[in-house]
Amino acid sequence: MKQVEIHHITHLPPQILALEKEAVKEGFRFLTRLISEWHSGANHFDAPGECLIAAYFNQQLIAIGGLSVDPYVETNTARLRRVYVAASSRGQHVGETLIKALVAHATLRFRSVRLFTDTPEGDAFYLHCGFMRTEDAHATHIMLLGDT
């Protein structure tokens, strides 16, 4: 397993552009949306309970993910957003480490975490991380936190 450093970040690291380029080549546009929303001010992951977390290996950005208030649920629910792990770091527990950090942060304020994925790989990954499938128009997976 790589020795990964996890950091809560308040600014997008310049290396996000290389990660975005890789994601786009794989057909994923959500890092492009992350960058666009960040620069427009639409989302800085800075509302109460929210965060943006980056994973580094040898000072290189290898993964990123955010936690925001879920806009589709009325109370106490977080949404996992914009999670991406560089292809070269997959299968080395980087994604799990990132998700654990995001969920640990969520437990400070929220009672559940939801997300949406549209790939079989994402489905398998989130199930492995402890999420359950859910039948909802706005979420594919959910994790209940604490004693809910």
Q: What is the tens place of the pLDDT at every residue in 105-138?
A: 999 999 999 999 999 999 999 999 999 999 999 9
Residue 87 and residue 26 in contact, taking contact as beta carbons nearer than 8 Å: yes
Q: Give the confidence band of 75 by pLDDT, cuts at 50, 70, 90.
A: confident
For the question of whether the overall pTM of this predicted structure is more than 0.75, the answer is yes
Q: Say which CATH number the domain at 60 has.
A: 3.40.630.30
Computed from CA positions of residues 92, 33, 7, 144, in that sequence, does the dihedral angle turn out positive or negative? negative
Beta strands across the sheet bearing 5-8: 5-8, 51-57, 60-69, 77-85, 112-115, 139-144, 132-136
Number of domains into which the chain is organized: 1
Q: In DSSP terms, which residues pair with 5 in a beta bridge?
A: 56
- CA 51, chain centre distance (Å): 9
pLDDT at position 82: 96
**Can you give the residue range of the structural domain that contains 62?**
5-144
2, pLDDT greater than 70? no
pLDDT for res 148: 45
